Amino acid sequence: MDQNTPKEASTEASKERAGSTGPNAVRTALVVLGLCFTLAVLGRGLSESFTVFLKPISENFGWDRAQVVSIYSLTWLVSGLTAPLVGRLFDHSGPRIVYALGLFLLGAAFLIASHAQALWQFQLSIGICLGIGVAFIGNVPNSILLGRWFGPKLPTAMAVVYSAMGGGVLALLPASQLLIDHLGWRETYQVYALAALGLLVPLLLLPWRMFAAGSPHVTKKSDPDFVDGGWTLVSAMRHHAFWALFSTFFFTAVGMYSIAAQIVAYLIDAGFPP
């Protein structure tokens, strides 16, 4: 190494090489998996918690269910439309910026919603801001990051992350109802805002350069003379398998989300305690 290289830089480089080789690579891969799991729990759990907020918000303002459900619909519409842009930002700015923006948008969304007085304010905060935030900490960045550590074992890693979505719903929806019962829905949104913004500091302090580098057994230095003759977006859209997968996700989402937002309110109206 050059004698002019600062000691701190050489130490950091040594740590990165040590973290991506041998047994350390396995530990780092598991840390990355745990991080993606945690973010998936937060993203899905906090976004789906709106189903618990639907009834108290509707009763507080005297709005009908269709008006309030539009907020939930907007969340997932914006999240889906944002997802293609997340990959580009991930490649350009790295995971630190993507995940930090996601948590910041989640915190801002809940903070604005806790003071909202009009429907458009909920649509802006819980609909648009939360939808973008969920996309920034969701499956797109998680799959890119995990792909650099797990390679051919990526399906197993993603299966673990997908299980976090169910875990987030299972944990955070009952927690939301308990908080609403004891604090109120505005105060509960403030708690979620503080939690999301409070996680920003430890998130920014993580060794993202090492996480983004990936395992040397999976990632390889790209050859500038290499020409990729494989799949492109246009060629994929001409294949029947693309549209089969598209249809599967599309119609599953239509069937699921058309009733998901109403289930909690319906059960309470049917006589079940919240």
Phi, psi of 205 (to 5 degrees): -85, -5
Structure tokens that stand for 59 in this block: 């009763």
Structure tokens that stand for 75 in this block: 């969340």
Residue 170 lies in a domain: yes
Residue 15 lies in a domain: no
**Which residue segment(s) compose the domain that 162 sits in?**
24-216+234-269
Residue 1 lies in a domain: no
Note if the pTM is more than 0.75. yes
- The DSSP secondary structure of 19-34, one letter per residue, reads HTSHHHHHHHHHHHHH
- How many structural domains does the chain have? 1
pLDDT 10s per residue in the chain (274 long)?
444 444 444 444 444 444 455 668 889 999 999 999 999 999 989 999 999 999 999 999 999 888 898 999 899 889 989 988 998 899 899 999 999 999 999 999 999 999 999 999 999 999 999 999 999 999 899 999 999 999 888 889 999 998 888 888 889 999 999 999 999 999 999 999 999 999 999 999 999 999 998 887 775 544 555 555 677 878 888 899 999 998 998 898 888 877 888 888 888 888 898 8
Residue 136 lies in a domain: yes
What CATH number did the domain enclosing 205 receive? 1.20.1250.20
Cα separation, 144 vs 75, whole angstroms = 23
